[in-house]
Chain A
Amino acid sequence: GENVEQHPSTLSVQEGDSAVIKCTYSDSASNYFPWYKQELGKRPQLIIDIRSNVGEKKDQRIAVTLNKTAKHFSLHITETQPEDSAVYFCAASKTGTASKLTFGTGTRLQVTL
């Protein structure tokens, strides 16, 4: 089955700096890669996703890049703000009707003032 590794497990940045979280996956058939944000005491929520037919996707201050050859994808957050502090999970799956997500182990991002 699919295996997703995520690094780093914790990340501390100063407000205004950029943050990068990296994930690798094992199943070359995976073609859907979402990122979920979980604020303290809250449920995970989708913030951005990418499919294998594109290499990069942006939404305001967040972007995701995908390298299918190397089987890795990354989340980039620019101009970080205190409200970006949360746990971020990457995931991977195929897009068929029987698909299921395999999640990474999470990255705790702390944005300091």
Chain B
Amino acid sequence: DADVTQTPRNRITKTGKRIMLECSQTKGHDRMYWYRQDPGLGLRLIYYSFDVKDINKGEISDGYSVSRQAQAKFSLSLESAIPNQTALYFCATRDRTLEQFFGPGTRLTVL
């Protein structure tokens, strides 16, 4: 089945380290998104991309950067991780019906 996958699924890192979260999809969707989930705050948009040459900031992009290496791959980087970036991160794709398909999530802990 076509799917959205994320690696790693869990990551523990230290303050100041650079870390990359990767997202791949086999759904053939052009639109890809990175969200952060925190208890009581819902899903907040970090970055989104409508195609390989189009990258847009979401509501909480500070401290993050992204790379759209191909239609199927969208990576999220934390250049210098800090403890308040500890969260559950989801990648998602979107089809023409507007439905978003989420990956399994990456649980990131910054010590």
Looking at chain B's contact residues, is the secondary structure mostly helix, strand, loop, or mixed? Answer: strand
Interface 1/0 per residue, B20-49 and A, CB below 8 Å? 000000000000010100001111110010
Interface size on A, residues (CB 8 A): 25
Query: A83 to B34, alpha carbons, bound, how many Å?
Result: 28
B43 touches which one: A1, A49, A89, A98 (CB < 8 A)?
A: A89
Q: Is the CB of B42 within 8 A of A106?
A: yes
What is the interface residue range for chain B against chain A?
20 to 34
- Do A105 and B40 form a contact, CB below 8 Å, given A44-B90, A100-B48, A100-B58? yes
Query: A93 to B105, alpha carbons, bound, how many Å?
Result: 23
- Do A104 and B42 form a contact, CB below 8 Å, given A1-B59, A43-B105, A98-B50? yes
| Selected A-B contacts with CB under 8 Å, 13 pairs | A9-B40, A36-B100, A42-B104, A43-B102, A43-B103, A44-B43, A45-B102, A46-B100, A49-B99, A100-B33, A103-B35, A103-B43, A105-B41
